Structures are given as structure tokens and as C-alpha cells.
Chain A
Amino acid sequence: MPESALKPAAGRAEFESIVRLENVQKYFGAVQALRDVNLRIGRNEIVGLIGDNGAGKSTLIKVMTGVMPPSSGRIFVRDREIDLSDYSVRMAHDLSIETVYQDRSLADKQPLWRNFFVGRQITNRFGFINIKEEKRIADQILKGAIGFRSSGITVDSTVANLSGGERQGIAIGRAMHYDADLIILDEPTVALAVAEVRKVLDFVRRIKESGRACIYIEHNLAHVHEVADRLVILDRGHVVSEIKPKDMSVIELTEYLISIQHKT
């Protein structure tokens, strides 16, 4: 049960990496979507996951978050191996892994406070919602973690009234509230105006500041280059290289990605 509005993630049990994949393969029939994927996500780093359409980014995320099992390979969460036969989205939630999908995280017609708590409502034992408590905590998250102070957004605002960047902020703030140690962002800046992109990138930085890890899937290289600690490049289901953004400019990165595309 969420008691406090926002606890920093630091100071919990020691572990090396929040998620580690070893030799993960994923087949869809005869098609190999993931090939020998070895990947390690540290406890407080922002990892940018880039690659062309069909490179296997979303398959990788789905395998990592229990949406679908890998065909073979091993997955470790907090250095402990996961039994893949009972890994599920719910289990990933319990293991403090949250995914923020670009357009599937918030329900448009519902007020923000319901969006914060849906699926994990604060209820009495008959299942009736403690609305006062939910609104109070939602208000704290809104003002504290997300930092919407003066923009006229309240817990009673419906999502439909928010801008795209604000929506991402709400979804990320919700993930942080639930003490997620790893927040996975699936193309959060798609179709956003420049000012909105700024806001989202600020939210990503907040994730890092609060001591959490983040996997950031992005098409726009400039955005991910700006905030990521490490870039993982995926091509045809394989991790082809890992790059530190400070070692390569956005232009060099673009050239590099194009050169990968033309290799066969």
C-alpha cells in the first residue's frame, strides 16, 4: 500500500543491476526477433535503447517486463534469477518495474486521482475506495514529484485536458510514486511539441536524481543522447554496440546508425 507520497529509492537492499538479460532469444515462429541479447541495467542509470523499426526494441521490453516469455535465456532482477514460467506483468510490478507506454498509460475521461490509483486503489475490505485519501496523496504527487504547482491542474482535472508532455509527466510521476526501481519509457516524446519535449526530458532527469534506473526507448536520437548515460543500439534483434553519449555526437551517432543499416 502506498503510504507516503514519494520515497527516494536510495537506501534499499544492495544489488548490482536492476535487470540483467543473459543470452536471451525470442522466436516468433521461424522469425528470430531477439538474438543472443546480453544486457545489464545498472541501479541508477538511464539507458537509451535505440534502433530502427523492427530492430526488436519493443520485443525486448516485452520480454523484460513479463508481457511475453523469451524462447530461451535467463533474466535476473536485482541479481536474482527469475523463474520465467511464472513471470508476468503483475510480477514485474511487484518487482518494482514500471512501464510507461506512450499512449496507453492514462484513461482520457477519468480524473487524475483515479488514474493515479487505478489497479492499486486504497480501499476498505469491501473494495470501496477511500476517495479522500487517494485525492490527498494524488495532490502530493502532483505538487511534489511531478511539480505541477501553478499550471491550474488539480487532481480532479481529467486527462483529456492535459497536454502530451503533462500526460507523460503524470504517468512518470505515478511510476515514481509506486517506488519503481526501473521505469521503462516507450517513446515518450513522439508527437510532442518542442516545449513539451523539454518537460518530458526534465522528468527523465528526475528519475535519475531520485536514484532510480530508466530505460528510454526513443526514435529521436537528439532527445535520448541528451539524457542517457549509455546508449544500447539494437539491430535485427541483436545488441550491436553500447555507446557513451559523451564519446559520440548526435551527428556521428546518426552516421553510425546508417552505416549499421547498410551492413548485411
Chain B
Amino acid sequence: MSDTRYHPPVRLFWWTTKRSYFLFVMRELSSLFVAWLVLFLILLVRAVSRGEAAYESFWDWADTPWVVAINLLAFAFLVLHTVTWFNLTPQAMDLRLRGRRLPASAIIGAQYGGLLVVSAAIAWLVLR
């Protein structure tokens, strides 16, 4: 018997049809920018290890408009990455305290607290 069912096609831009799908695809895309920032950091460490001239030329390169533009974009995606993953964590973690499930706000709050502590420690290292 032939298949008389209709098979709805998946459109190339299916992720533009709903806000939640779009945000999801942007969150997935943000991984590329996370990878870029890791690479940027590795290049910085390499420049440091190669002496002052290499260090200076790294910052000359990092000051060029297109690198600044990429880094600004990367920062925006990094914020999206952080916020969306922090919001999703309570669903993946079933933490119980005295038999009762820890509320989502406590888990999300703890993550922002951790972020604040790490950021403050790095700021202290860089700015002191």
C-alpha cells in the first residue's frame, strides 16, 4: 500500500518562527564566541610568554576596530550564554535539603554569587 500520509517538511528557517526557538539557536551560536574568547586568551598568554615586543604588538592588534567589534559582539553573546544557562540549571539539578527540593531561585542566585566572587577576584588581580 502506498504511503498517503502527508510529511510536513522542516523549513531551513524553522528557528525564526518562534521567539523561544530563536533564543535557543542564539544560545547554541554563543558557543562559537565562547571559543573565540578562549582563543583570544591563549593568544594573549602566548604574547606574554614571548616578551614585551610581542605583548605590545598583541595589544596593537587587539585595538584594531574589527577585533574590538568582534570582542563587543562576543561579550554580548557571552552574557546571553551565561544568563540562559544559569536560568536552565535548576531544571537539571534536583538538589534536596532536608528532603525538600531546593527552590530554583536559590540555585540561580548561588550561580550569580559565584560569578560575582570570581569576577571580583579577577578584578582585584588585574587592577591592584
Indicate whether A and B interact.
Answer: no
